[in-house]
Structure 1
Amino acid sequence: MNHNGLTADAAAYEEIARDTRARQLQAYRLREALFKGLQVESPESPEDRQEALEKILQVVKSFVRVARSPFSSSSPNTPPSNAESPLHNKPDTPTNTTHFDLTELATHQLLHDEDAVGGADEQLQYFLLTMLRLSLTCPFKDVRHTFKHFLQTLKANGITPTPQARHLSPSYFIHLDDIFSLETKASRYTTVQYPRPGNISYSPWSADENTSNDTVEEGRKEEQDEQEDCAKTGSPEEASTTGGRAADEYVRQMLVKTYIDEGRLANVFRVIAFFPTYYEIYHTTYSKTIKSSIGPLPRVWRIYLAILVAAQQRCQYLVSLLKLEFLHVGGDPAWLKGLAYCPPKLRPMSRLILVLARQPWRLSEDDIRALMSNTVGSALGESWSKGELVQAVVVIATFLGLSSFVLGCGIAPELDMCGGFSVTGGGKSENKGVEHELDTRTTMVRATEDAARAAASHATGWYDSNIAMDNDDDPASDDAWIATDDTTPPDDDSTRGQHSPINQDDFEQTTELISKLKLSKDSDLKQELLESLEGGEADTGQRKLSIKTSRSVIERPRSPVATRSLDGGVVYDDLSRYVDPVLDESIEIKDFDDEERQHYEEFMLGDYCYEDHGYELVNQFLPDLGEDLVEEFDEAQSITDWSIFHQVTEAAVDTSPLRYAIWYRVQQILGIVKDDYNYDDISRYLSRRTSEYIKKVCQQPDAIRRTDWSNIGLSLRPEEKCHVNLLVASARKQALLCYGLSILATL
């Protein structure tokens, strides 16, 4: 073919690609506009959400009538368009509206355009996945119930393959009963306890310990009434799908605000909600880091940098979440093919990420100067400015820390993303999630379970026989619309929470630790607590500080929850494409040990620390974020509930020595030393096994498994284990900021 022919073919391809992209965006924006109508809290006018719900159902029913077989590459026989079913609109149904707005026009075009990308099948798939997610994670009951009933009806009538959740809890390691409910009422009515700053001795938002029995009985009566209503409507019991720990109004409003702002209540934030006061601060810093318009780096570049970090850490959860955001804000899908397809200016960041992740003490001024010069690129404009690098370091440190938390806590995939759902009746399929809606149509090879495991092993470097594929058999339980799994939750500490059988060694270690903490000479925080209580007695009467468990010490049966026997850390994509393979081999994970000390100096916090020096540089290019990060670190260190495990005692346990031991052990691993900290406290308060766990979460979080979570070296409640991971993640983030910013400050 001659040159002109090649040019003509290329031009035709480009035209097709542009047209395809336009259709993808049209379909996405249609769905986004429809579901945006649900992101309102209007008690005075509940008809607003009802109208949005009716419009969504109308559109989805239209897709159901014309779709062939969503979630499948095959096209099995489907009911004819005039088939009678509860989902096909009748003239007298409330979802038949008389007006024809722009949304209906767009839907009409997608339904009847044979050339539309993915056609009705694909669009129905994404609608059903969004409905599945909201049926279980939306904080508004009317939305959950409407979508649950719709999906149940779809499945019961065999109208179309229907997605089901593979795991109801936001974490593989934490049972749903231990997660805050999406409602202020749950199946267990007890005083709401959660860690908070040390200067707050009891929650100002939740019921106090003097809550009357009448209030409890009233709550139980209302719960019984709700269950009777559920029985009439066929809806499942709320507590079995929304969380078993009662949330107070403060937590409830925090979750609602997140959903209204984001349109998604992500699993990672549902777990961080264990620490409500920290959640508020972290959500602010996270939004300023990745979502806001401050700073010299475009949002698309920041998100892509975060993808590179998450991929290097083999954190599939964050890669999927960030990929979705990257595409939705207009990122070029070609970049997602790998590091070789992104702008040349971004490619050298792979080295910076690897050094900070594995050997941060080796980061040198030469490394930074190379990025700021034209030597790393092939053209002008490919060098990095100081402000861009400051923002890049903040992004990298944030997502290295967050990866430690996500992988350490076993955060499960989002319900509408790959790994979060399965399909019954659709045949073996790729089951791509919504994160693939706007990408280039590259096929994931998952023909058989063996092939899938081989791909995961190639991508991650480890083989895990627990990587479970989709189960197409009809589920046995009545709640099978929620999950296709026929397995029961593993009967171990990881899912049964604080009332699981206790490891005797861990219990003895915990008891010994409590004794050490009570005998600690550093009693400043204890004194502050006592003064706080004495000052509060004038208003609250003879209030005593009661260290309680999150629910009664009497064991209650767990709600049956569908789960997968997954072990965390599952990878579905080839994440190695986001990492420079040569650098990945040459830059190894190391400890700052005696051998390293022969060549590199320790980083002394007395010379440079974030709270005294680093925040000023961040504020210079990212206004207010520097101070917000100081507050974030302080909050992570100070939150406490003055107890360990579920000891019921009138004597508060000051856990600050333990918290500081975790914090400075992490930074010690990374080569950072605090001049005035007594490092003997690390061996005093951390057992060998606990120290090993901390090191693993810090350096190799992708290797964390259920057995690690269950054998942390201490008998801890689920939220206490999450706090350990939070301390590790925050200390790591702060340490990496110190390394990067201290060099940038000298340039």
Structure 2
Amino acid sequence: MNRGSPSTDYTMCSNCQKLLRKGKEKSRVLQSTRGPSAFIPEKELIQADVVADCSSLLVEEFCTSGRLDNITQVMSLHPQYLESFIRTQFYMLRMDGPLPLHYRHYIAIMASARHQCSYLINMHVDGFLKTGGIAEWLNGLDYIPQRLRNLNEINKLLAHRPWLIRKEHIQELVKTGENNWSLAELVHAMVLLAHYHALASFVFGSGINPEQDPETSNGFRPELISNFCDCDLTNDNNIKNTSLLRSNFQLDDSLSELENLMERMKRLQEDREDEETSQEEMLTRFEKEKKESLLVISGDFDDEVVSRSNISRYIEDPGFGYKDFARRGEEHLPTFRAQDYSWEDHGFSLVNSLYSDIGHLLDEKFRMVYNLTYNTMATHEDVDTTMLRRALFNYVHCMFGIRYDDYDYGEVNQLLEQSLKVYIKTVTCYPERATKRMYDSYWRQFKHSEKVHVNLLLMEARMQAELLYALRAITRHLT
């Protein structure tokens, strides 16, 4: 399907480039004692030249502060994706849309709080106040309009168990009354919620450090700063079983982890060409992979209650979290079959009709990250990584109960080692539990830029999964 894109002009002038160069230099000075990421050496990020490849949107984003935030610096390892990300986020937060500007930032705060992501909460406390938000609302959910509070249920379901969203949730929000939402407003809100749930996964999965710019402090920030994500300080001792952090593939003495993976990719490609797997076998392999995901344990955690007062004020029902889609001993939940409701054939057109142009921007971003490749794997060049990228994306959807009829889920078990599965499940479902040990435990011979690409894939796969469940519920409401 050949889709156009919004008509906004994103060209970049020489003055913009100069401004961005100054901004990046200031960023380096500000981060001299602590880099943008607790997981990635700062020297790896300095090599990424974001200036030449990014649009004038970056200028508008950062000219007021004169610096690039830590998320941007880490994402700048992939400039093509970064531009698509910035363009989409800028549109959601700043361009014409159904919701007032201060609502957008408050919804971002509510979404980020579901994963205790102080980094994003702080960012949008600033944005909320700068767009005319009422400071009293920052005291918590008890101080906001009932209309906004009504989003709590859809927020927690989208964040943790999107498969539970029903058309009745939509009907409750759009029913006639003084606190009702129009469908257009609700779609805008859902896109924001899904975006910031997924972005929290990227923040924790990439070890994004707190911003260290005293110029951006305000009356609300000092209380929040002490509880930033502190990914590098996350308690690694809570890993329940360190054996889960080892590969479940026995490496031959003569093969490295990398060469072993490449060999499996080659063998899978040959098997795919030699024989065609039946639909029955494909379904069996999906069900097997879905059940095996239950055994992937991210750590020794109980369902913790958020005790931090500065975050808990933005959360209703803090004990509600992710539960495996295929939990044992429970009534079987129906699988979400992608051929019945897909982003390409259903979600895109619905979201675009209710919130003009956002469908084009989201579609571009999904396609960008899914197709992004440099044809390399660690030290190897001229490598087709399509199979690996698809396995990562589809494994996330599998954990959310989404199945693709044309995909052989046996490939997931062959390509994703156990330590990587632990990392994926943690970053996607419980991102606040991510640790540097988890990040370091998989693909030890790969570059940090390749691991950041993994995080981008996980983020976008998660966002798309949330949107598919939400948009399907809206479709059922409309029909």
Q: TM-score range by the shorter chain?
A: 0.7 to 0.9
1:262 is aligned, of 62, 69, 72, to 62
Which residue of 1 is the match for residue 324 of structure 2?
591
Hey, what does 1:434 align to over in structure 2?
216
2: CA distance, partners of 1:392 / 1:728? 21
State how far apart, in whole Å, the 1-side matches of 2:56 and 2:350 are: 34
Give the TM-score normalised by the residue count of structure 1.
Answer: 0.51
Considering Cα pairs closer than 8 Å and 6+ residues apart, tell me whether 1 or 2 has the greater RCO. 2
After superposition, residues 524-539 of structure 1 pair within 5 angstroms as none
Matched residues in 2 for 1:664 and 1:319: separation?
29
Q: Is 2:121 the partner of 1:324?
A: no
The corresponding residue for 1:602 is 335
Q: 1:603 to 1:246 in 2, by over 3 A?
A: closer
Distance 1:166 1:319, change over 3 A: farther
Query: After superposition, what is the alpha-carbon deviation per residue over 1:220-271, rounded to whole angstroms, capped at 9, x for unaligned?
Result: xxxxxxxxxxxxxxxxxxxxxxx2x163xx7535277513443242211121
Secondary structure at the aligned position of 2:318 is classed as: helix
**1:628 partnered with 2:361:** yes
In the alignment, which residue of structure 2 is the partner of 1:116?
none
| 2:22 is equivalent to residue 140 of structure 1 | yes
State how far apart, in whole Å, the 1-side matches of 2:24 and 2:74 are.
Answer: 23
Give, in whole Å, the separation in 2 of the partners of 1:365 and 1:679. Answer: 30
Structure 1 residue corresponding to 2:256, chosen from 482, 504, 508: 508
How far did 1:402 drift? Answer: 0.9
> Matched residues in 2 for 1:336 and 1:281: separation?
30
Q: What residue is the counterpart of 1:638 in the other structure?
A: 371
CA distance in 1, matches of 2:174, 2:329: 27
Say whether 1:746 aligns with 2:476.
yes
| Alpha-carbon distance, 1:315 to partner | 1.1
Report if the CA contact (8 A) 1:313-1:701 is conserved. Answer: yes
Q: % of aligned pairs identical?
A: 29
1:734 aligns with 2:464: yes
Matches within 5 A, 1:100-111: none
Partner SS for 1:574: helix
The C-alpha deviation readout for 1:641-668, integer Å capped at 9, x for no partner, is: 1121223x5xx21111111111111011
> Displacement of 1:141 after TM fit?
8.0
More helix by share: 2
In structure 2, C-alpha distance between the alignment counterparts of 1:434 and 1:302, rounded to whole Å: 20
* Distance in 2, Cα, partners of 1:593 & 1:142: 46
Name which of 25, 36, 45 aligns with 1:170.
36
CA separation of 1:745 and 1:177: change in aligned 2, threshold 3 A: same
**Could you state the TM-score of these two structures normalised by the residue count of structure 2?**
0.78
Q: Which has the larger radius of gyration?
A: 1
Cα distance between partner residues in 2 of 1:368 and 1:362? 12
Which of 165, 173, 176 is the equivalent residue of 1:371? 173
TM-superposed CA distance for 1:604, in Å, is: 0.8
From 354, 359, 370, the counterpart of 2:161: 359
* Superposed counterparts of 1:53-132, under 5 Å: none
Question: Cα offset for 1:725?
Answer: 0.8
The reply to whether residue 576 of structure 1 matches residue 312 of structure 2 is yes
Give 1:308's aligned residue: 110
> What SS does the corresponding residue of 2:149 show, helix, strand or coil?
coil
One-letter amino acid matched to 2:44: D
| Moved beyond 6 Å, runs of 4+ | none
- Whether 1:252 and 2:52 are equivalent positions in the alignment is yes
What SS does the aligned partner of 1:578 have? coil
Give the conservation status (yes or no) of the 8 Å contact 2:224–2:310.
no
**Residue 574 to residue 256, structure 1, CA distance change in 2 (3 Å):** same
For residues 403 and 627 of structure 1, the distance between their equivalents in structure 2, rounded to whole angstroms, comes to 23
Alignment check: 8 A CA contact 1:662 1:727 kept: yes
Question: For residues 638 and 251 of structure 1, do their structure 2 counterparts lie closer, same or farther at Cα, with a shift above 3 Å needed?
Answer: farther
Change over 3 Å in CA distance of 1:381–1:704 after alignment to 2 = same
Cα distance, 1:509 vs structure 2: 2.8
User: What is the rounded CA distance, in whole Å, between the counterparts of 1:176 and 1:682 in structure 2?
Assistant: 32
| Secondary structure of residue in 1 paired with 2:412 | helix
2:450 & 2:262 partners in 1: Cα distance?
A: 14
Distance 1:618 1:445, change over 3 A: closer
Change (3 A) 1:410 1:521: same
Structure 1: which 5+ residue stretches go unaligned?
Answer: 1-38, 50-137, 149-163, 180-242, 375-379, 418-432, 447-451, 467-502, 525-570
